[in-house]
Structures are given as structure tokens and as C-alpha cells.
Amino acid sequence: MRVLVVEDDPEVRGVVVTALRAVGFAVDQAADWSQADVSISVNDYDCLVLDRILPEGDSAGQLRRRRAAGLAVPALMLTALDDVTDRVAGFEAGADDYVVKPFVAAELVLRVRALCRRRGSTVPAVLRAGDVEVDTARREVRRDGILLTLTPKEFSVLEMLLVRRPAVVSRSDLLEHCWDELADPASNVVDVVVGQLRRKLGDPPLITTVRGSGYRIDLAGR
């Protein structure tokens, strides 16, 4: 899942980005709406985290205009404005959730994850393929009942492959949704992570390479 954090305070932005990346989100960042608009125009985000007050002014008005223009990505407002009228104004402008500063990073992560799941089809709490079970809430993976230790990136790739099953997921799609804008599209980073994931999942093979197209979950191992 890919998130854009729009926050002009470097310290707060760093806390949010670090917390989200620590649990496997691909995170891009912007300091104002001008930078955010560029990122939104070229990337497919699952959620936006927006500081309420940015250099261009109140994000409520900025979001309202973009909603009117067709922006449908779920958005969470992050702000020190905790008056009821401020929260109502945020929701009326098109925000899907509202978190008041100071915030607890763990709660913010849970709220962002919930918003990401609103986009498109709902991701089940537990994904299964053969003897592999993925608990998307606890971020746990088991094969034949044995708990596996995956990195956040490996978990994100496996989750996306299971959600898209039985379709083939292209390398570009995996790069788009599981990595941030710092990832080099010409690198083999996707292949490396898939290789690590295969080794940890063990036999029989679960992930198949479809030459020239990408990867898919294949219980037959073909």
C-alpha cells in the first residue's frame, strides 16, 4: 500500500513517514500542495495524510477543490485544530478521518491502514492460499501452521499477490504499490524481494514467474 504524507513540519513529517514505513507502507512525502499535486498526478496512492494547515493555507479548502475535480483517494487530516467546528469542516471538505496532534503513531498507522482498505475491494482479515495463511491485521504469515518472519516489504508483496490472485501482478504494479518514489524502476529490487520471499515460504513453491508479465500465486507451482 502506498501513502502520500503532506506535512510542512519536517519533524512531524519524519515521525509519520518512519512509523508508516516501519510496518511496510510505501511512503512518499511533500511539504506543500504544489509538491503533492505533482506526486498525485503521477502516482496511484491508497491514502493521503494531510496536515490541516500548509503554506498554501487551510487544507480543507484545498481538499474540497480537488474532490470537486475528481480526487477520490481516501484522506486523513492531521492537525492541532481540535474544535468540533474544525473537525466538521474537515469532514465536509472531503476528509475521511481526522487525527488531532499530538498523536500516537500506532493509532495513526491503524487509521491509515483502515483507510487504505476502503479503496477498491475490501481486503479480508485473513488471506489464504493452500497451507499459507496471512493475517492482514496482525501482519503475521504462517505456512502449515508455522509462523514465518517476513520483512515489511516481503509482507506487502505477498499481500498484494494474494489479493490479486489468480491474476498476474506486473513488476511495475508491485513497484508502484509496495515501494515509494525513491525506488529505481530500472533496478531489480522487485525480483530480489520476491526471491527472498520464495525462500522463506519454502516448498512447494507458491509464487510463479510469468515470463514477460510478472508474478502470480500458483498452488500447483507451475
pLDDT digits (tens, 9 = 90+) for 13-60: 999 999 998 888 889 999 999 999 999 988 888 899 999 988 888 888
49/7 Cα distance (integer angstroms): 8
90/98 Cα distance (integer angstroms): 8
**Is 10 a member of any domain?**
yes
Q: Which of 118, 134, 153 is the last residue of a domain?
A: 118
Claim to verify: residue 111 and residue 142 sit in the same structural domain: no
Q: For residue 2, how many other CB atoms are within 10 A of its CB?
A: 21
Quote the pLDDT of residue 221: 45
pLDDT digits (tens, 9 = 90+) for 65-103: 999 888 888 999 988 877 888 888 888 888 999 988 888
CA 174 remoteness from chain centre:
11
Contact of 174 with 214, CB cutoff 8 Å? yes
The CA-atom distances, in angstroms, between 104 and each of 38, 74, 108, 111, 218 are 29, 20, 6, 11, 40
Q: What is the DSSP letter of 76?
A: E
**Greatest distance between any 2 Cα atoms in the chain:** 58
Quote the pLDDT of residue 32: 93
| Closest to 197 measured CA to CA, from 157, 161, 163 | 157
Identity of residue 1: M
**Is 35 a member of any domain?**
yes
Domain of 185 in residue numbering reads as: 126-217
Q: Which of 97, 118, 139 is the last residue of a domain?
A: 118
Number of domains, the chain: 2
55/100 Cα distance (integer angstroms): 19
Q: Which of 69, 102, 118 is the last residue of a domain?
A: 118
Q: For residue 101, how many other CB atoms are within 10 A of its CB?
A: 13
12/45 Cα distance (integer angstroms): 20
Rg (CA), the chain: 19
Claim to verify: residue 139 and residue 68 sit in the same structural domain: no
Percent of the chain with pLDDT over 70: 93
SS3 128: strand
pTM of structure = 0.66
**Is 30 a member of any domain?**
yes
**Is 204 a member of any domain?**
yes
Claim to verify: residue 8 and residue 59 sit in the same structural domain: yes
What's 45's domain CATH number?
Answer: 3.40.50.2300
